[in-house]
């Protein structure tokens, strides 16, 4: 059973940092560039996150995430620099399409902001165990029922993907057409997804009963079997991050 | 009055809680199958719509929110932001189902269109912040580029971009969710109804 | 002293007209092993749900009469309080895993976390349960990577660590292969030997005859008989009630081999005994 979590199970100085501190990092490194509006600061934040991800040994898992956004970013650059009205300064021309300098500058600021947000989030997700994230939030007051939901999705999705493979093989061997023109393919959708969906929904009844049998609805303050991760430098690191935020606000105001 | 109060009841029973991961997984599987069959739709909100239909707007909203948190944690950290649109889809589904919009096929189609409107209205500002107004879908973005080139304002073009992609997607998703709802025994779906109470026999 | 006291228990699921349980009255003593049998739809699962509080707290519906377990009234208590007294195990091992934990030890800890048991105590109870069910070697495995029989024992262990006084098992082996079935029965036998009260629904009547102190036969939500296995399986109209007596009993009935009071043997041992008596008398 492969987990769908992006977590990279390694040891590094980034992994040692506790979830809340990383969360603060993420907020500061997203908010500060937006407040100051300086592209240079955005680029800087993005590079810092990248270096941290590399030093945590998680670059390989970052690649697919980045690849997913590549297409979108490309289309942003093309459309923003070539199709938005009101620009004059033509930088270059491909066929009938003019690319404007102002548009390209605007597009690059969008791209930087996007990458900055993407990497800041990725840093957390790649280097924090999901159970540690959820339990940290639970200790801070997140309902344990919601915590349960988040963690169980990580297991349920790979299971369903497995069932999905079995069922689609079975349906195909029964002669269901999954290739051809769009109508043929669209018609295949319901017979494929139906059984998986119905199965999983029927299973919810017994799982819910099993949870009740394990005191899921108890209204007491929980204890935790996993030990709470402690980070030695949490106070100084958090202070530095806060300071960064204050400086960027001050920069904006001055 | 009491009917309306039930609609927005926040305390969810355990069956509803367990439905949320299943709903998120259904979203995910829908998306995988749509990609595998190379359909030009996302079909990644069937579970959220279903949760709204059987459990009401609160359960729908929660399924949508958790869905995007999970996408954020697994597929693309940036997509967590679109959680707000997913919440809208869940709430709209719950409210529409409550007012009887899931009884006939034509109603389900209208249901899908309204859900698409809601999600587009929410997505537009997000797209604007993120991608300068685009959606990342080829057809929608082509329309966006076309409208922009013809002096239509960015917000409106962005909205058209969204709704072009969203309306067919949500209509098909709603029909699938509705089909599943019809197939499941009532004795199962009633477990997700948080307004049930025990009565006394003598 | 009686442990479980059920008085004129009636129950109707939501949206239905017929009573799934129709006036049950009985008692179960501490440490007894009770088998429940009956045709499909007889009300066995509903009774299990009622004993563990899922009826009515999970299913809602209409409820009459009462169940007292160790002095607490099931209808008036919260599910999480009932869970400390009564544990329940279902058919499908898969759906009983929480799905939120990625090792067997964490899976076992789930119920105790909910009950706010301190960590040191959790560790102690987990070790005990793993040892009792002979699954110590699985402690760090992902629950979903286990075989059905192993997973079902994890499900039992995860109930056991909550230290209930009664364990209800609703067809715990019906989805397992023969080996898994054997493993699970052995585990249940061990729990019973420890003095735990066991209530088990099971179609394999040979197993019921071997383990149970008393057997309850249900039909249409009512108790048809509630007797020791030898007496119950000697009843003449069992097949009409959708129950197949143990194979030994069927053989003995065919050969008309019974003891002095007219009861047929129900286990291998008692059959051999009776047959021997017949031989010797010839
Ligand atoms: N969730 C439910 N809603 C409505 N009726 C139910 C439900 N579960 C079971 N029943 C009905 O209650 C009766 C008893 O069912 P059950 O206790 O499951 O029987 P058994 O376990 O002996 O096969 C049957 O008639 C069944 O159809
Ligand atoms: Mg049953």
**A136, A122, A134: which is closest to A25 by C-alpha?**
A122
Task: Find out whether B148 and A85 touch, Cβ atoms under 8 Å.
Answer: yes
C152-159 average pLDDT score: 97
Q: Is residue A3 part of a domain?
A: no
Greatest distance between any 2 Cα atoms in chain C: 67
Please indicate if any CB of chain A lies within 8 Å of the CB of C105: yes
Residues 17-56 of A with CB under 8 A from C: none
**B175, B166, B167: which is closest to B108 by C-alpha?**
B175
Q: Is residue B151 part of a domain?
A: no
Same-domain check for residues A32 and A111: yes
Taking any CB pair shorter than 8 Å as contact, residues of chain B touching chain C are 13-15, 21, 186-187, 190-191, 196-202
Q: Please provide the distance, in angstroms rounded to a whole number, between the alpha carbons at the two ends of chain B.
A: 30
Task: Find out whether C244 and C250 touch, Cβ atoms under 8 Å.
Answer: yes
Task: Find out whether A198 and B22 touch, Cβ atoms under 8 Å.
Answer: no
Domain count, chain A: 2
B63-91 average pLDDT score: 83
Same-domain check for residues A124 and A165: no
Spatial distance between the Cα atoms of A190 and A186, rounded to a whole number of angstroms: 8
Spatial distance between the Cα atoms of C37 and A94, rounded to a whole number of angstroms: 80
C128-154 average pLDDT score: 95
**pLDDT > 70? residue B138:** no
- The structure tokens listed for C7 are 């008085």
Spatial distance between the Cα atoms of C79 and C55, rounded to a whole number of angstroms: 10
Same-domain check for residues A95 and A30: yes
Digit-coded pLDDT (tens) for C192-248: 999 999 999 999 999 999 999 999 999 999 999 999 999 999 999 999 999 999 999
Same-domain check for residues A116 and A42: yes
Q: Is residue B159 part of a domain?
A: no
Our answer on whether the CB atom of C36 is closer than 6 Å to any ligand 1 atom is no
Give residue B154's pLDDT.
75
Distance C97 CA to ligand 1 centre (A): 23
- The structure tokens listed for B19 are 């439905």
Q: Is residue A223 part of a domain?
A: no
Q: Where are the beta strands (DSSP E) in chain A?
A: 90-94, 97-100
What chain C holds in terms of domains, given with CATH numbers, is 30-63+72-236 (3.40.50.300), 246-282 (no CATH)
Spatial distance between the Cα atoms of C99 and C154, rounded to a whole number of angstroms: 13
Please state, rounded to an integer, the average pLDDT across all residues of chain C.
95
Coil, strand or helix at C203? coil
Q: Is residue A6 part of a domain?
A: no
**pLDDT > 80? residue B139:** no
Same-domain check for residues A39 and A62: yes
Please state, rounded to an integer, the average pLDDT across all residues of chain B.
87
Out of C45, C60, C222, C223, give the residue to mutate to test ligand 1, the one with the largest number of ligand atoms within 8 Å of its CB: C45
Spatial distance between the Cα atoms of B66 and B71, rounded to a whole number of angstroms: 9
Give residue A100's pLDDT.
86
Same-domain check for residues A31 and A58: yes
Give residue C281's pLDDT.
85
Please indicate if any CB of chain A lies within 8 Å of the CB of B46: yes
Q: What angle do CA C138, C140, C142 make, to 5 degrees?
A: 85
Give residue A1's pLDDT.
44
Q: Which of A111-115, A172-176, A217-221, B70-74 has the least mean pLDDT?
A: B70-74
B15-44 average pLDDT score: 93
Q: Is residue A220 part of a domain?
A: no
C185-190 average pLDDT score: 94
Q: Which domain holds residue A49?
A: 13-128+228-253
Note the helical H segments in chain B. 2-7, 14-36, 46-74, 83-98, 105-131, 138-149, 154-183, 186-189
Q: Is residue A53 part of a domain?
A: yes
Our answer on whether the CB atom of B187 is closer than 6 Å to any ligand 1 atom is yes
CA distances from C123 to A18, A208, C88, C129 (A): 25, 25, 22, 10
Same-domain check for residues A121 and A140: no
Give residue A84's pLDDT.
74
Quick one: pLDDT band at residue C1, thresholds 50, 70, 90? very low
Give residue A21's pLDDT.
96
**pLDDT > 80? residue B129:** no
**pLDDT > 60? residue A245:** yes
Task: Find out whether C114 and A218 touch, Cβ atoms under 8 Å.
Answer: yes
Q: Is residue A8 part of a domain?
A: no
Give residue B1's pLDDT.
37
Spatial distance between the Cα atoms of C61 and A26, rounded to a whole number of angstroms: 49
**pLDDT > 80? residue B68:** yes
Same-domain check for residues A234 and A119: yes
Please state, rounded to an integer, the average pLDDT across all residues of chain A.
89
Of B96 and A169, the one with more pLDDT: B96
Range of A174-178, B4-8, C124-128 with top mean pLDDT? C124-128
Of B155 and C56, the one with more pLDDT: C56
Phi-psi region of A9 (alpha: psi -120 to 50; beta: other; left: phi over 0): beta
Q: Which domain holds residue B34?
A: 12-121+168-192
Quick one: pLDDT band at residue B77, thresholds 50, 70, 90? low
Peptide linkage before C56 cis (omega within 30 of 0):
yes
Spatial distance between the Cα atoms of C4 and C210, rounded to a whole number of angstroms: 23
Ligand nearest, relative to CA of residue C218:
1
Nearest neighbour of B66 by CB, restricted to A150, A178, A194: A150
Same-domain check for residues A90 and A150: no
Domain count, chain B: 1
- The structure tokens listed for A239 are 């202070």
**pLDDT > 70? residue C82:** yes
Note the helical H segments in chain C. 44-51, 54-57, 79-82, 93-96, 104-114, 119-132, 148-160, 178-193, 205-211, 229-233, 247-255, 268-281
Out of B184, B187, B191, give the residue to mutate to test ligand 1, the one with the largest number of ligand atoms within 8 Å of its CB: B187
Q: Is residue B61 part of a domain?
A: yes
A26-51 average pLDDT score: 90
| Chosen from B25, B199, B202 to mutate, greatest number of chain C CBs within 10 A | B199
Q: Is residue A5 part of a domain?
A: no
DSSP β-bridge partners for residue C216:
C36, C226
DSSP β-bridge partners for residue C72:
C69
Greatest distance between any 2 Cα atoms in chain A: 71
Instruction: For strands C166-170 and C197-201, give the pairing.
Output: parallel
- The structure tokens listed for C102 are 């990625």
Quick one: pLDDT band at residue B130, thresholds 50, 70, 90? low
Same-domain check for residues A180 and A95: no
Task: Name the percent of chain B lying above pLDDT 90.
Answer: 55
Q: Is residue B138 part of a domain?
A: no
Coil, strand or helix at A129? coil
Task: Find out whether C173 and C152 touch, Cβ atoms under 8 Å.
Answer: yes
Place of tokens 């009300």: C43
C140-162 burial, b if ≥16 CB within 10 A, otherwise e? ebbbbebebbbbbbbbbbbbbbb
**pLDDT > 80? residue B81:** no
Quick one: pLDDT band at residue B4, thresholds 50, 70, 90? low
Q: Which of A6-20, A74-88, C99-113 has the least mean pLDDT?
A: A74-88
> What count of other Cβ atoms lies within 10 Å of the Cβ of residue C258?
17
**pLDDT > 70? residue C9:** yes
**ipTM over cut 0.90:** yes
Instruction: For strands C197-201 and C33-37, give the pairing.
Output: parallel
Residues flanking ion ligand 2, Cβ below 5 Å = C 45
DSSP β-bridge partners for residue C169:
C89, C200
**pLDDT > 60? residue B3:** no
Same-domain check for residues A232 and A208: no
Tell me how close the Cα of C244 comes to any Cα of chain A, in angstroms. 27
Same-domain check for residues A139 and A124: no
| Residues in chain A closer than 8 A to B12 (CB atoms) | 145
Spatial distance between the Cα atoms of C154 and C172, rounded to a whole number of angstroms: 12
């Amino acid at each position: 059973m492969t987990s769908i979590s992006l977590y990279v199970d390694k040891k590094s100085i980034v992994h040692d940092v506790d979830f809340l501190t990383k969360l603060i990092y993420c907020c500061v490194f997203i908010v500060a560039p937006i407040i100051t509006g300086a592209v240079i600061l955005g680029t800087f934040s993005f590079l810092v996150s990248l270096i941290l991800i590399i030093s945590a040994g998680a670059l390989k898992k970052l690649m697919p995430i980045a690849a997913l956004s590549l297409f979108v970013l490309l289309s942003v650059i093309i459309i923003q620099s070539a199709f938005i009205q009101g620009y004059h300064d033509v930088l270059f021309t491909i066929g009938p399409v003019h690319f404007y300098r102002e548009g390209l500058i605007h597009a690059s600021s969008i791209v930087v902001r996007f990458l900055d947000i993407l990497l800041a989030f990725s840093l957390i997700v790649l280097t924090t165990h999901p159970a540690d994230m959820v339990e940290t939030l639970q200790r801070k007051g997140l309902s344990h029922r919601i915590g349960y939901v988040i963690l169980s999705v990580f297991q349920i999705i790979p299971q369903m993907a497995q069932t999905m493979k079995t069922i689609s093989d079975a349906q195909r061997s029964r002669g269901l057409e999954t290739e051809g023109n769009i109508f043929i393919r669209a018609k295949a959708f319901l017979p494929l997804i139906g059984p998986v969906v119905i199965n999983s929904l029927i299973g919810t009844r017994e799982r819910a009963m099993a949870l009740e049998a394990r005191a899921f609805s108890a209204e007491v303050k929980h204890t935790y079997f996993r030990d709470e991760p402690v980070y030695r430098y949490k106070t100084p690191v958090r202070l530095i991050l806060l300071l960064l935020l204050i400086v960027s606000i001050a920069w904006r105001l001055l | 009055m009491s009917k309306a109060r039930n609609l927005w009841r926040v305390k969810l029973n355990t069956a509803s809680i367990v439905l949320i991961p299943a709903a998120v997984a259904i979203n995910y599987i829908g998306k995988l199958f749509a990609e595998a069959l190379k359909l030009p739709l996302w079909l990644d909100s069937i579970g959220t719509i279903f949760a709204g239909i059987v459990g009401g707007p609160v359960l729908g909203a929660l399924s949508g929110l958790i869905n995007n948190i999970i996408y954020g944690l697994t597929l693309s950290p940036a997509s967590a932001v679109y959680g707000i649109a997913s919440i809208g889809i869940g709430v709209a589904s719950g409210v529409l189902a409550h007012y009887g919009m899931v009884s006939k096929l034509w109603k389900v189609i209208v249901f899908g269109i309204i859900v698409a409107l809601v999600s587009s209205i929410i997505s537009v500002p997000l797209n604007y912040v993120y991608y300068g107004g685009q959606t990342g879908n080829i057809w929608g973005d082509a329309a966006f580029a076309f409208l922009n080139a013809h002096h239509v304002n960015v917000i409106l073009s962005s909205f058209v971009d969204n709704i072009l992609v969203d309306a067919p997607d949500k209509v098909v998703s709603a029909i699938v969710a509705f089909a599943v709802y019809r197939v499941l025994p009532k004795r199962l779906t009633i477990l997700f109804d948080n307004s049930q109470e025990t009565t006394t026999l003598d | 002293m009686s442990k479980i006291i059920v008085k004129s228990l009636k129950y109707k699921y939501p949206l239905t007209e017929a009573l799934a349980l129709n006036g049950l009255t009985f008692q179960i003593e501490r440490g007894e092993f009770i088998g429940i049998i009956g045709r499909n739809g007889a009300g066995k699962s509903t009774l299990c749900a009622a004993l563990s509080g899922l009826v009515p707290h999970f299913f809602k519906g209409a409820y009459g009469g009462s169940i007292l377990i160790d002095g607490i009234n099931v209808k008036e208590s919260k599910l999480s309080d009932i869970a400390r007294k009564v544990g329940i195990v279902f058919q499908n091992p898969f759906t009983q895993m929480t799905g939120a934990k990625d090792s067997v030890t964490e899976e076992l800890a789930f119920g105790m976390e909910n009950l706010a048991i301190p960590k040191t105590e959790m560790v102690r109870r987990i070790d005990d349960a793993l040892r009792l069910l002979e699954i110590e070697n699985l402690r760090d495995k992902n629950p979903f990577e286990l075989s059905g029989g192993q997973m079902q024992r994890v499900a039992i262990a995860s109930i056991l660590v909550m230290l209930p006084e009664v364990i209800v098992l609703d067809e715990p082996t019906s989805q397992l292969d023969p080996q898994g079935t054997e493993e699970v029965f052995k585990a249940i036998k061990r729990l019973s030997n420890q003095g735990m009260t066991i209530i088990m629904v099971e179609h394999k009547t040979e197993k019921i005859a071997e383990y149970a102190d008393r057997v309850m036969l249900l039909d249409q939500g009512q108790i048809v008989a509630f007797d020791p296995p030898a007496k119950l399986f000697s009843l003449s109209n069992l097949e009409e009630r959708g129950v197949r007596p143990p194979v030994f009993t069927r053989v003995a009935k065919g050969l008309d081999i019974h003891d002095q009071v007219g009861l047929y043997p129900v286990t291998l041992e008692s059959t051999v005994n009776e047959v021997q008596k017949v031989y010797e008398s010839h």
